[in-house]
Amino acid sequence: MSRLGLDPDRLPGHVAIIMDGNGRWARRRGLPRVAGHAAARASVREVVAACAELDIAELTLYTFSMENWSRPRSEVAALMRLLDQTLREQVDDMDRDNIRLNAMGRLDELPKYARSRLDKAMERLSGNDGLRLNLAISYGGRAEILDAVRAIVEEVGRGTIRPEDIDEELFRSRLYSPDLPDPDLLIRTSGEFRISNFLLWQVAYSELYVTDVLWPDFRRKHLYDALRDYQQRERRFGGIGRSGKSERR
């Protein structure tokens, strides 16, 4: 057991986070919503650094949803500028910390300057082999499933696959990041009990952890709390656990 009260052998391999509460954080301080988004960058830095230090393999952050495009144009523009600025400022630190970068979603919908910055950062960090940071950008779980279905239907139409060939493995291969393992732990901040269209295919058996902490206030200690809670769980994936009782479905 580490000094943090964590068992290094029972850490999740993949942590996913729904980073919620930026707007409420700003509103409680009488600030514009974009101030909450800007403050949230410190939380991202802390969590990324902590996961890298713990040798967690995958961290996926719900960065910008498909639904976020419907927000006021000024807020969307500010979010894209923050993405560009954060990547520009943090890429050297991520490279030093041996972090890889991946992005998933309908990336072609991003402004050209933001997409260019993202592509350059992913290329710059592609040779690293430490923590992989996955950014879900212009992402929706339903959109991902629909895009996978469309790709499969097109292949069936061309005759390159047969309907009877379609199974879970083939379907996963058409998702945005086919090699992304299912999250072991899904954290949601701000106290809301919703998945919010995030990784709908992948979270079928993820352990869920909800905290009332707003994302801009989320720090290492809150991540460690979530990890300690996770290590108290018995994961059965629909089977029978050590108690001999089957999982309730």
For the annotated catalytic residues, the residue numbers are: 20, 68
CA distance 76 to 110: 10
Long-range contacts of 2-10 (CB under 8 A, 24+ apart): 4/224, 4/228, 5/224, 5/228, 6/54, 6/224, 6/227, 6/228, 6/231, 7/231, 8/54, 8/55, 10/231
Phi, psi of 72 (to 5 degrees): -50, 140
- SS3 call for 138: strand
The CA-to-CA distance between both ends of the chain, in Å, stands at 33
Q: What is the rounded distance in angstroms from the CA atom of residue 53 to the CA atom of residue 128?
A: 15
- State phi, psi for 149 to the nearest 5 degrees: -60, -45
